[in-house]
Structures are given as C-alpha cells and as structure tokens.
Chain A
Amino acid sequence: MLYREAGQFKTSYQADQAIFPIAQDRWFVWGLVAFGFLVLPLFADQYLYTEVLIPVLILSLAAIGLNILTGYCGQLSLGTGGFMAVGAYAAYNLALRLPETNLIVVFLFAGLMAMAVGVLFGIPSLRIKGFYLAVATLASQFFLEWAFARVKWFTNYAPSGSVAVGKLELFGMPIQTPMEKYLFVLAIVVVMTLAAKNLIRGRLGRMWMATRDMDIAAEIIGIRPLYAKLSAFAVSSFFIGVSGALWAFLRLGSWEPLAFDINRSFQILFMVIIGGLGSLLGSFLGAAFIVLMPIFLNQLPGILGIPMSTALISHLEFMVFGAMIVFFLIVEPHGLARLWAIAKEKLRLWPFPY
C-alpha cells in the first residue's frame, strides 16, 4: 500500500521521461540526499566518515564507471585499478607542479587523463569480445601498475616510490576534517551520478545498450561500433579516474602503486556484479556491501564474544566473502538492485497477499 503510483498521470513528455516518474521514488531520493548533506554530519563520528561513508561513496563512483562500461555497454573490463591509478597520479602531478590550481580542476584533469588512457586501451575492444577482452584489459592493468612504479617522473623521484598529498583546500576553505572531506566527496558523487543518469537516459546511453544487446543490429541502425564502444570506455574511464583521484587525495593521503593493483579491479567488479549490472542504484548497493562486509565480519567475533585468532577471522572473511558472492548470484543473478526492485513491488501489495 505504501508504494502505489495510482493517480500519477503524466501530461508532458518531459514529465514522463523524468528520472523518477513515480512520486514515492522522487521523495525517497530527495530525502536521502538531504539526509546525507544535513542530518548525517550531526551525529556521524570520525570513524564512520573515514572508514565507511567516504570509501563507499568514492568506490561507488568507480562502480558507476565500470557499470557504464560493463553493465550498459557490455564490455567486460578488469583494468579499473589501472585507470584509478592514472587518475590519482595525474591529480598528484598537477597539484605538485601547479600548486594553486583549484581542486575541482585537479579532479577534472585526473578524469580527462584517465579518459585518454581508457580510450587508448579500449581500442582492442573493437576486434575482441567477451572474456578475451577481459584478459586483454588485464594488459592495461599490469602495464599502468608497472609504469607508475618504474617511471620516476610520475612519483616526483621519491626514493621510496610512495607519494603524499599536502593540505587540501577549495576556494579558500580548508578540507581537512573528516566531515569536510565527506561533504566534498558527497557533492562530487551526487553531481556525477546525475550526469551519469542523464547520459544513460540520452542518446549515448541508448547507443551503449544497443551495442550491448546486439552489436550487429546496432550497427545496422546507424550506431558506429567504434563510436559507441570508445565513448563507453571514455566516459567510464573519466568516472574511474576521478574516483581514483578522490581515493588517493581524500581517503589515503599517501599511497604507492600497490594501492591500485589487480585486487582493486576485482573489488570494483564484485561491486558491479553483486550490486547489479546495468543499474546505478546497484553500483551504490554493491559498493556499500563490499566495503561493509569485511568490517562487519571483523567485528563479528567481538560482538558475539567468541575469541578468534585474527588468522581465523581473515580466513573466515575470505570464505564468507566467496560464499556470499555465490549465494547472491544463485538467488538473484541481477544483484541487489533487482532485490530492491522486488522489494518495491512487494511494498506495492504489502498488507495484502496478492
């Protein structure tokens, strides 16, 4: 009964094509955004910011990027970690060599550099499909990881190979305390999610989805496969690049190439698959799940009072993690987003059985 769209008729095409045509959805999302900006900062403590909210938001941005490439355009990629590294090091070098540049420009530059590299490594996708492409994108992952560990210019000749970021500030306001960092990340993520939603609803999104579903038919109705696939790689790498820069600047502070290794690519791929391929909401749900699960598992013995050695806990973490992935894939191959949709449908009937 809570979720009934009876009586909500659209009079204009614009209204019909809105992001959330059903009023309940609209209020829910506006409520969520307002909660994020206004209510949460009141009671969230430092640990909640740095270990839960900021990682989930930044990684969902990367998950959105990968979702655009794999969920909407059907190109499987395992190179996410490498593209995040490109964003991080591009931002670091720009901030180092031109210290006064505004933080927004730094992150935009990071996105653009990752976009360029993404397109370059997207070219094989024109001839290669499916798992061959996934393994081909591993070439970009290992090459980028190697380049940032070896070419000294990227890490400003630091003998240790690890680079660090100084004090951040935006239009004069310092971004130091966890809350400021959180609000900055939240603002960027909300804006970029809206941009992603608009791209997906528009012409570009349809081209991606057409290429995903049947690329021959797409070609025949006038969609150039080169344009569709490379634009997907470009936009996806832009999102991943910005997320890489955010991860380095706001989450880590000081990092080395190993922070963006192959495990990062797998982590983001897990988020997209568990969250739900081809759904922005799925990217957020997947990111939240993958970030919270290990933390929750580490604290579980403490809560239940069973003394466990850390080795056992971390082995358990591996096992439960693997089991959860298999469980979710069996129960709902289309991920948490579909579960959410089913829940909404249940809400439509809720007190009544049918």
Chain B
Amino acid sequence: MTLKILGAAVAAAVGVTALAAPALAQNEQFIPALVYRTGAYAPNGVPFANGIADYYKLVNARDNGINGVRITTEECEFGYATDRGVECYERLKKKGPTGAAYVIPLSTGVTFALTEKTATDKIPLITMGYGRSESRDGTVFHWNFPLLGTYWTASDIILQHIARKEGGFDKLKGKKIALVYHDSPYGKEPIALLTERAKRHGFETMFLPVTHPGVEQKATWLQIRQQRPNYVLLWGWGVMNSTSIKEAVAVGYPRSQMYGVWWSGAEPDVRPAEGGATGYNAVTLQHTAGQFKVHEDLKRHVYDKNQGSAKWDETGEILYVRGLINAMLGVEAIRTAQEKFGKGKPMTGEQVRWGLENLNITADRIKQLGFDGVLQPIRVTCQDHEGARTGRIQTWDGKNWKISSDWYTSDDKVIAPMVKDAASKYASEKKITAGCLN
C-alpha cells in the first residue's frame, strides 16, 4: 500500500518537470495577468482582474485583436504576497511567441521586487496609479510606467483639496493631518510627500501603520479619537479599508474629514459600513464610477455572448472601470509599437516599452475608444513616465460616488525635486547612467 503512495509522489514530481506548456499559435500577443481572487485582498483584486480580462475579450471580439494579432492571457493567483508574485512573473514571462508584452503587478511590493528583474528580462512594468513614485523619471527607470499618477500625485491632490477647503495652504499651519496606512511599501509611499508639505506649511503629521491584513485597528482609531486630527488620510487595501471606515463609525470620527487614496475609494470599501460611510471622500484616478460608451461595446460583444467575468451591474464600479482603463492603456501601447515595428505582428517586451514611452492618447482618440468624459489626454515621454497628473475628489453619498471637486493637478514645484534626488539616489546605488533608451 505505501509503495503505491510513494509511486504516486514520484510521478507527481516527475510530472511537474517534464511539463510541456501548451503551445501557442504564432500570431498571438501574450499578456500575463497577476491577480488575487482569494484571501484578505480579494474584495479589491477581483473587480480589477475582471475589468482587465473583459477588455482583452472585447478587443479580440470587436476588432479581432490588435490589427489582427489576437490577445492571449493567463491568470496567476498570488494573493498580494510579494514572493508568490515574483514566482508568477518567472513562470509567465517566457510564454507566447514573443514572451510577455508587459506586466501589471497590482502591488507596490511586487513592483519593488520586479523593477530590477524586468530591466534584465526587458519586459515593461505598467503600475497605473501605484508603484514607486520616483519611477516617474524614465531616464533612470527605463522599464517602469506609473501611468496616470503616483502616490505623491494622489497625496498632493488631497492636500490641495484640503487647503482649498481651509482657504489656502497657509491656513494649514497648526492643523493636524493623520495618515492611516497599510504597513507595506504601498502604504509608506505618501509619507515622503506629506512630510515635505508639512515642512513647507507647518502642519502636524501623524502616521499610524496597520499591520497586514488590517483586521485589528481598534487601538489605531482610539488614538485618533484621543489626538483629534483635523483630517485623516486612508492608504488601505483589501479588507483594511472597510474595517477602517467601520472603526471610524465606532469611535464617531466624522467620515467627511476622511480622504482615501484612489485604491481606498471603491464600492467594496464603503458598502460593508452601510449608512456609516456617507460623506467619506476619496481622490479619483481621473475616472469615477458609472457606465460609459465603451460599456455598450462591452455589452454587445462580451456580455451578450455571456463571456463576461463579472455580473453586468458590477461593470460600473470603480475598480472594474479602472481595470478596463489599465488594459486599454496596455493595448494602445502595443498598437503604438505596431505602428513603428510592423502591424499585424506580436510585439516583444522591448518594442512595447517603446510603445509605452511614446504613448500619446489625444482627446478624440479617447472619444473613439469610448472613454470620453472619463479620462483626460495622456502624453508619455522618456522624462515623464506618468503621462498625466490630474485627479478629482469624489464623495460617497450612501449609494454611489458623486464628484465633489473639479480637476486638480499635482504641484510639480514640490514633487519634481523629490523625484530628481530619489531617482538619482537609486541610479547611483544601482550604477545606472541616466538617459533615454533608443
């Protein structure tokens, strides 16, 4: 009996090594998808992953791929754990005729781990709305693309909004602003900008880390109740967001004085607290909730053929729409690369990098794609891998998100010098000579 078990175990081990990956046809563009659909971060990971998967299906169904090159994708579950994320990257980076076109890690921790690996493997990293804030400087971070905004942009927009409410930055003197953040590279990113602004305008800062997975926050919010900060910024992820809002309700801290980053401002974060979340604000990564022109194509080409990965009424939610936008930017980058390196052919990582660095999505291109009124024009250059630095504030009125401010642009007088010396410090440490690739 036991010999049979041993035989099975040996077969299992052999099975893995002699594993032949299913061969892919020649004319396909492979894009890996690092996702987390289980564990403490699933509530936010699932809608985003559905958005990306559905957009690829839309491109294949509506325009038969990018100029005839169909997109193939494979999901790999890593539960927001950095080492499993790297494992997924290693397994998927060589698949497909030309390897992975680009990687969307959806985790700042994984972004830190992959920054060096992707440079040697020549695969661009699209970290839309997250990642390393200093990776905006393309002369040093050739392969990182924090499109549409970094965390320095997000925190700066929130501070500008608060300053406007208080009547100007000088009114912030003596005020106290707290940051409740997820104790990981993601949560620590805004601290640099907040300290810089605090030095300039003389307001007090208070940093409260919440350990993974962010379930236990009672002590944090008791401290907030006792220290009475004027505003609380929330940099949470997964179940931590909803717990923070519920604890705020429990200690009676007014939600109208709370501002979340664009990753702490989606439906799964506010619904669990039910009525309690009314008045809670969050900065937007340009777009807000709702269904747009692109959803009509989505309905006709994907959901009517019940290929959709989410329920139809969820496709208007913030994280699903952000998934669509992220996939759209990736596809447009491949399309730009194909213009230069040959239409109708799958692109290599290097070519897609060029595509990303020369991404220029004008207002009417946005209208053609069906995202009008959602996004502003994006222009990526070798020096500026962010492309756009604008956002608005939205408020949850108990049932859905309402835009409660007009467009802000992050103040480059403050951020540019910070990016400069952070990037040069990284360049000297890693012995990279700053400069644009071809």
Q: Which residues of A contact B116 (CB under 8 A)?
A: 164, 253-254
9 shortest interchain CB distances as A-B pairs = A311-B37, A160-B185, A314-B77, A310-B77, A310-B75, A162-B112, A314-B38, A296-B16, A162-B185
CA distance A146 to B210 in the complex (A): 11
Q: How far, in Å, is B425 (CB) from chain A's closest CB?
A: 10
Q: How far, in Å, is B181 (CB) from chain A's closest CB?
A: 11
Q: Does B399 contact A (CB under 8 A)?
A: no
- Inter-subunit contact B117/A314 (CB<8 Å): no
Q: Does A16 contact B (CB under 8 A)?
A: no
Q: How far, in Å, is A25 (CB) from chain B's closest CB?
A: 17
Q: Does B364 contact A (CB under 8 A)?
A: no
The contact size tier of chain B is 35 or more
Q: List 7 A-B contacts (CB under 8 A).
A: A149-B209, A160-B108, A293-B12, A314-B37, A315-B38, A336-B9, A343-B3
Q: Does B35 contact A (CB under 8 A)?
A: yes
- Inter-subunit contact A47/B113 (CB<8 Å): no
Within 8 A of B (CB), among A320-340: 331-332, 336, 339-340
Q: Which residues of A contact B22 (CB under 8 A)?
A: 302
- Inter-subunit contact B76/A310 (CB<8 Å): yes
- Inter-subunit contact B94/A47 (CB<8 Å): yes
Q: Does B397 contact A (CB under 8 A)?
A: no
Q: Does B219 contact A (CB under 8 A)?
A: no
The contact size tier of chain A is 35 or more
- Inter-subunit contact B37/A296 (CB<8 Å): no
Q: Does B296 contact A (CB under 8 A)?
A: no
- Inter-subunit contact A255/B83 (CB<8 Å): yes
Q: How far, in Å, is A283 (CB) from chain B's closest CB?
A: 16
Within 8 A of B (CB), among A276-331: 288-289, 292-293, 295-296, 298-299, 302-303, 309-311, 313-315, 318, 331
Q: Does B109 contact A (CB under 8 A)?
A: yes
Q: How far, in Å, is A165 (CB) from chain B's closest CB?
A: 9
Q: Which residues of B contact A289 (CB under 8 A)?
A: 9
If the complex has contacts A51-B90, A339-B5, A343-B2, are A161 and B35 also in contact, measured as CB distance less than 8 A? no
- Inter-subunit contact B77/A311 (CB<8 Å): yes
Instruction: Name the residue of chain B whose CB is nearest to the CB of A55.
Output: B87
Contact of A331 among B2, B91, B191, B192 (CB under 8 A): B2
Q: Does A33 contact B (CB under 8 A)?
A: no
Interface residue stretch chosen among A103-111, A233-241, A256-264: A256-264
Interface centre among B79, B81, B112 (most CB of A within 10 A): B112
Contact of A51 among B12, B91, B191 (CB under 8 A): B91
- Inter-subunit contact A310/B37 (CB<8 Å): yes
- Inter-subunit contact A159/B184 (CB<8 Å): no
CA distance A252 to B42 in the complex (A): 24
CA distance A159 to B187 in the complex (A): 10
Q: Which residues of A contact B3 (CB under 8 A)?
A: 342-343, 346
- Inter-subunit contact B17/A52 (CB<8 Å): yes
Instruction: Name the residue of chain A whose CB is nearest to the CB of B109.
Output: A256
Q: Which residues of A contact B5 (CB under 8 A)?
A: 331, 339
CA distance A283 to B222 in the complex (A): 46
CA distance A292 to B42 in the complex (A): 25
- Inter-subunit contact A166/B430 (CB<8 Å): yes
A contact patch SS: helix
Within 8 A of B (CB), among A31-85: 46-48, 50-52
- Inter-subunit contact B79/A161 (CB<8 Å): no
Q: How far, in Å, is B20 (CB) from chain A's closest CB?
A: 9
Q: How far, in Å, is A77 (CB) from chain B's closest CB?
A: 22
Q: How far, in Å, is B214 (CB) from chain A's closest CB?
A: 12
CA distance A298 to B21 in the complex (A): 12
Q: How far, in Å, is A10 (CB) from chain B's closest CB?
A: 29
Q: Which residues of A contact B23 (CB under 8 A)?
A: none
**Residues of B bordering A, CB below 8 Å:** 2-3, 5-6, 9, 12-13, 15-17, 19, 21-22, 35, 37-38, 42, 46, 75-77, 79, 81-83, 86-87, 90-91, 94, 108-109, 112-113, 115-117, 132, 183-185, 188-189, 191-192, 209, 211-212, 429-430
- Inter-subunit contact B184/A258 (CB<8 Å): yes
Q: Which residues of A contact B117 (CB under 8 A)?
A: 253
Q: How far, in Å, is A350 (CB) from chain B's closest CB?
A: 10
Contact of B83 among A252, A313, A336 (CB under 8 A): A252
Q: How many A-B residue pairs have CB under 8 A?
A: 116
Instruction: Name the residue of chain A whose CB is nearest to the CB of B20.
Output: A303
CA distance A162 to B185 in the complex (A): 7
Q: How far, in Å, is B209 (CB) from chain A's closest CB?
A: 8
If the complex has contacts A47-B90, A313-B77, are A261 and B212 also in contact, measured as CB distance less than 8 A? yes
Contact of A296 among B12, B79, B113, B183 (CB under 8 A): B12
Q: How far, in Å, is A308 (CB) from chain B's closest CB?
A: 10
Q: How far, in Å, is A36 (CB) from chain B's closest CB?
A: 14
Q: Which residues of B contact A314 (CB under 8 A)?
A: 37-38, 77, 79
Q: Which residues of A contact B115 (CB under 8 A)?
A: 254
- Inter-subunit contact A254/B15 (CB<8 Å): no
- Inter-subunit contact A253/B87 (CB<8 Å): no
Q: How far, in Å, is A225 (CB) from chain B's closest CB?
A: 36
CA distance A103 to B257 in the complex (A): 52
Q: How far, in Å, is B188 (CB) from chain A's closest CB?
A: 5
Q: Which residues of A contact B42 (CB under 8 A)?
A: 311
Q: How far, in Å, is A81 (CB) from chain B's closest CB?
A: 12
Instruction: Name the residue of chain A whose CB is nearest to the CB of B309.
Output: A309
Instruction: Name the residue of chain A whose CB is nearest to the CB of B7.
Output: A343
If the complex has contacts A314-B77, A315-B38, A339-B5, are A149 and B183 also in contact, measured as CB distance less than 8 A? yes
Instruction: Name the residue of chain B whose CB is nearest to the CB of A264.
Output: B83
CA distance A104 to B170 in the complex (A): 56
- Inter-subunit contact A161/B76 (CB<8 Å): no
Q: Beyond the given A252-B113, A261-B212, A340-B6, could you list 6 further A-B residue pairs with CB under 8 A, ordered by the A residue number?
A: A149-B209, A160-B185, A164-B112, A256-B185, A258-B82, A313-B77
- Inter-subunit contact A298/B76 (CB<8 Å): yes
CA distance A51 to B83 in the complex (A): 11
Within 8 A of B (CB), among A89-131: none
- Inter-subunit contact A254/B113 (CB<8 Å): yes
Q: Which residues of B contact A302 (CB under 8 A)?
A: 21-22
Instruction: Name the residue of chain B whose CB is nearest to the CB of A315.
Output: B38
Q: How far, in Å, is B113 (CB) from chain A's closest CB?
A: 5
Contact of B15 among A251, A252, A296, A336 (CB under 8 A): A296
Contact of A259 among B79, B83, B183, B209 (CB under 8 A): B83
Instruction: Name the residue of chain B whose CB is nearest to the CB of A289.
Output: B9
Interface centre among A254, A292, A295 (most CB of B within 10 A): A254
CA distance A263 to B79 in the complex (A): 13
Instruction: Name the residue of chain A whose CB is nearest to the CB of B212.
Output: A258
If the complex has contacts A166-B430, A254-B112, are A343 and B6 also in contact, measured as CB distance less than 8 A? yes
Q: How far, in Å, is A298 (CB) from chain B's closest CB?
A: 7
Instruction: Name the residue of chain B whose CB is nearest to the CB of A53.
Output: B17
- Inter-subunit contact B113/A255 (CB<8 Å): yes
Q: How far, in Å, is A83 (CB) from chain B's closest CB?
A: 17
